Structures are given as structure tokens and as C-alpha cells.
């Protein structure tokens, strides 16, 4: 049986991290997005954080104008970000929890505990035509709540699995993978489109690429890191190949 296609969303945040490290105009995340498009990406993801530590407002404007691929706009569920998203109307809006002091998005959203507010928050985004995605862990309560409040998509957080692999804990990683697999199946059965991402690399992507229920993987930090050694286009093309081989 052939599996449904799996999209690769390339997250370009850390091209902007490198640019901002020197306050220069390069490397340009828009150039990276255009290169990702050439190399076989199916979408571009960019996270406008409250502190603008990597992507800045002008990057979002320039991306919207320059790319033909769908933009997945990652943001916290704040009024400021909602206003920006409603102005740009990107293809997708992915809501993530955000803490100022964290290095990266550490956990998933508490959709079950914040259901009423999030339902109100996503309604205008949906009306504006953006697909709303919620970044969550594999907890069944979070999955069910995401479906209940009207999200179109959930993105499952793969970061913990990748950390366990890096720590050399294969048994715990296998358990986490199984929980993610069950979560993906549950979300699909609830009518949600299922994506996954965070921390994925050539070494950790295969089991996710092989999951029938998944439709999209979003990958950033590893690809930008690998670009230092092999170039961004080749890194993305190789990721595409690893995903396609695993899905076959």
C-alpha cells in the first residue's frame, strides 16, 4: 500500500539567528526560503517570537511577498501576534507556547487547560482563511481538546524523542515514539491533519517519515546547521531523500 505524501516544511528561523548575531543584512532568510523552494521544500516555516530574537516583522512581510510556497507562520497566542497574522493572512498559523527565557519551544500547548480562550483566539484566524495548527505533545487530552476547539491541524512535538536518542536511551525513545504514533493515529481519527517536528535530523526523521498518519514534518535547526558543512540546498535535498526512502 502506498502511503499518502509527506510534506517537508523548512524552518528558516536560524538563518535569521545567524544574521542577527552580527546585526548584518546576511544571511538573508528570504534567500534561504527561495533556496529551500528550489531544493524540494513544500512549505516555509517562520516563528516570529515576542522578543524578535531571530525572525523580525520585516522578514514576514518580505517572505509573504517573495515566496510561492505556503507560509506556516508560527506564533504565540497573543493579541499582538494575532493582529500581525490577520494582516498577512498566511496559509497556516501554528500556535506554540512561548517563554521568554527558553532557548527553544520546550513543550506543547496546554489546549485542554486553555480551551475557551484558544477557541476564541483561533476563530478570527480561521475566518481570515489561515489553517490553524496547534503544537502539542502526544497527551490524548490535548489531542481531543484540539479537535474540539476547531483546529485544522495538530503538530506533535518530536523534541523529547530526539533528546532521548541523543542521550543514548533507546528504550525510553522507543516508548516515546510509540506514544507519538498513537497520538498521531488518535488525532487523525479525530479529523485533524497531523504534522510533527522539533529537533529532527537525518538520524531521527525516518520513523516519523514512515508514519501513515503524518502529512508534514517541519525541520529547521538541523538543516541550517548542516548547511554550514554541505550547503542549504544539498541538506534539504538529502532530508527529502531520507524522508522519501523511509516512507516508501
Please give the positions annotated as active site.
47, 74, 198
In whole angstroms, how close is the CB of 1 to ligand PXP at the nearest point?
A: 28
Residue closer to ligand PXP, measured from CB, 105 or 188: 105
Name the one range near ligand PXP by CB under 6 A: 82-90, 202-210, 216-224, 236-244: 216-224
**Cis omega before residue 27 (within 30°)?**
yes
Residue closer to ligand PXP, measured from CB, 171 or 177: 177
In whole angstroms, how close is the CB of 199 to ligand PXP at the nearest point?
A: 5
- 121 contributes a contact to ligand PXP by CB under 6 A: no
- Three cell numbers at 118? 484558544
In whole angstroms, how close is the CB of 54 to ligand PXP at the nearest point?
A: 9
- 188 contributes a contact to ligand PXP by CB under 6 A: no
- 221 contributes a contact to ligand PXP by CB under 6 A: yes
8 Å CB contact between 231 and 32: no
- Three cell numbers at 154? 495538530
Restricted to residues 49-78, the positions that interact with ligand PXP (CB under 6 A) are 74
Pick the binder of ligand PXP from 199, 205, 209, 211 (CB under 6 A).
Answer: 199
Pick the binder of ligand PXP from 73, 121, 135, 208 (CB under 6 A).
Answer: 135
Count of residues near ligand PXP by CB under 6 A: 19
Beta bridge partners of 8: 217
- Three cell numbers at 36? 529551500
Helices (H), 23-134: 29-39, 57-66, 79-88, 115-127
- The full DSSP string for 50-64 is TT-SSS-HHHHHHHH
Alpha carbons 5 and 203: distance in angstroms, whole number: 20
Name the one range near ligand PXP by CB under 6 A: 33-41, 82-90, 202-210, 215-223: 215-223
- 198 contributes a contact to ligand PXP by CB under 6 A: yes
- 218 contributes a contact to ligand PXP by CB under 6 A: yes
Q: Angle of helix 57-66 relative to helix 79-88, nearest 10 degrees? A: 20
- Three cell numbers at 185? 493515529
Q: Which SS3 state, helix, strand or coil, does residue 71 take?
A: strand
Nearest to residue 154, comparing CAs of 92, 204, 203, 201?
A: 92
Q: Which residues bind ligand PXP (CB under 6 A)?
A: 11, 13, 47, 74, 94, 96, 104-105, 135, 155, 197-200, 218-222
Amino acid at each position: 500500500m502506498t502511503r499518502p505524501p509527506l510534506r517537508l516544511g523548512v524552518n528558516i528561523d536560524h538563518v535569521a539567528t545567524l544574521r542577527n548575531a552580527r546585526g548584518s543584512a546576511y544571511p538573508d532568510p528570504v534567500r534561504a526560503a527561495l533556496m529551500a523552494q528550489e531544493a524540494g521544500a513544500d512549505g516555509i516555516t517562520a516563528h516570529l517570537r515576542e522578543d524578535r530574537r531571530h525572525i523580525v516583522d520585516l522578514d514576514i512581510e518580505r517572505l509573504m511577498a517573495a515566496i510561492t510556497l505556503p507560509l506556516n507562520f508560527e506564533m504565540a497566542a497573543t493579541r499582538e501576534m494575532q493582529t500581525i497574522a490577520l494582516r498577512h493572512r498566511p496559509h497556516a498559523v501554528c500556535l506554540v507556547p512561548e517563554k521568554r527565557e527558553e532557548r527553544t519551544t520546550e513543550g506543547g500547548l496546554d489546549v485542554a487547560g486553555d480551551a475557551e480562550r484558544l477557541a476564541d483566539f483561533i476563530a478570527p484566524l480561521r475566518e481570515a482563511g489561515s489553517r490553524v495548527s496547534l503544537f502539542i505533545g502526544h497527551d490524548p487530552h490535548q489531542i481531543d481538546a484540539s479537535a474540539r476547539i476547531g483546529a485544522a491541524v495538530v503538530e506533535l512535538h518530536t523534541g523529547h524523542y530526539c533528546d532521548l536518542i541523543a542521550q543514548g536511551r533507546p528504550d525510553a525513545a522507543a516508548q516515546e515514539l510509540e506514544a507519538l504514533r498513537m497520538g498521531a493515529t488518535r488525532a487523525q481519527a479525530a479529523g485533524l491533519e497531523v504534522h510533527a517536528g522539533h529537533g529532527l535530523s537525518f538520524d531521527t526523521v525516518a520513523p516519523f517519515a514512515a508514519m501513515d498518519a503524518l502529512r508534514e514534518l517541519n525541520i529547521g535547526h538541523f538543516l541550517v546547521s548542516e548547511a554550514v558543512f554541505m550547503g542549504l540546498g544539498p541538506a534539504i535535498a538529502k532530508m527529502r531523500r531520507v524522508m522519501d526512502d523511509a516512507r516508501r
